[in-house]
Amino acid sequence: MNDIISNVSDLFSIWNVTRAAAITSYLLLFISMLTGLTFKLPIFPKKSQKILLNTHEATGWFGLLFGMVHGLVLVFDTDYTSYTIFNILIPFTVEHNAISLSLGIFAFYGFLLLVLSTDFLKKLGKRVWKAIHFLAFPTFYAALFHGFLMGTDSQTIWMLIIYIFTGSSVLILTILRIVQAAQLKKKQVMVKKA
């Protein structure tokens, strides 16, 4: 019986909870990026576009929530780290791994801004909202490099495959999106001239 209790408490140790929340947050934010970059593609019918947009918003919110759990739970870890709430909320307040840890803090604030700005879209106006939304790209890569540089699981082949797959898909889809937007602009100019 004691063995079972000790196995269960090992499984749900603070370190495992923060790792699980980190990877869940990262994958949800990846799905949010993926759906955000693809929902407007003409290959999808209108009905699917709505589902993709809802998925984009929901995964953004849940990703942020898991990101918050991942960061906050670290305050209770005494086995591997000794971060204070101050270290978790303010970038560059630790001595070791200051840059890689701060990338995670920036990623958290970046996603928070993205999610909140979407909720206040009407008040901000589309122009400001769009400018903020461009932050999604650096914010996502801040999370990727943060996880890769800090993560215990970066040593494993499956986590490396996840980073390579997610990082390259977001890059390719962003390029496609830029090309699509440029083509649309060109078409609009040609129609105006004709």
Q: Residues interacting with ligand HEM, by CB under 6 A?
A: 18-19, 22-23, 25-26, 29, 67, 70-71, 74, 81, 88, 101, 104-105, 107-108, 111, 143, 146-147, 150-154, 159
Alpha-carbon gap, residue 37 to 136, rounded angstroms: 10
Counting other chains too, the contacts that 41-50 makes at CB distance below 8 Å and 24 or more residues apart are 41/176, 41/180
Distance of closest approach, residue 92 Cβ to ligand HEM, in angstroms: 11
Angle at 22 between CA 18 and CA 26, to 5 degrees: 175
29/132 with CB nearer ligand HEM: 29
Q: Return the half-sphere exposure (C-beta side, CA atoms, 13 A cut-off) of residue 16.
A: 7
Residue pair 54/35 in contact (Cβ under 8 Å)? The answer is: no
38/59 with CB nearer ligand HEM: 59
Distance of closest approach, residue 177 Cβ to ligand HEM, in angstroms: 22
Distance of closest approach, residue 49 Cβ to ligand HEM, in angstroms: 26
18/35 with CB nearer ligand HEM: 18
Distance of closest approach, residue 26 Cβ to ligand HEM, in angstroms: 4
Look at residues 181, 93, 100 and name the one whose alpha carbon lies nearest to residue 148.
100
Distance of closest approach, residue 119 Cβ to ligand HEM, in angstroms: 17
124/159 with CB nearer ligand HEM: 159
Q: Which two three-digit tokens encode residue 21?
A: 């929340």
165/181 with CB nearer ligand HEM: 165
Scanning the structure block, which residue is given the tokens 């996840």? 162
CA 154 to chain centre: 17
Name the residue whose CB lies closest to ligand HEM.
151
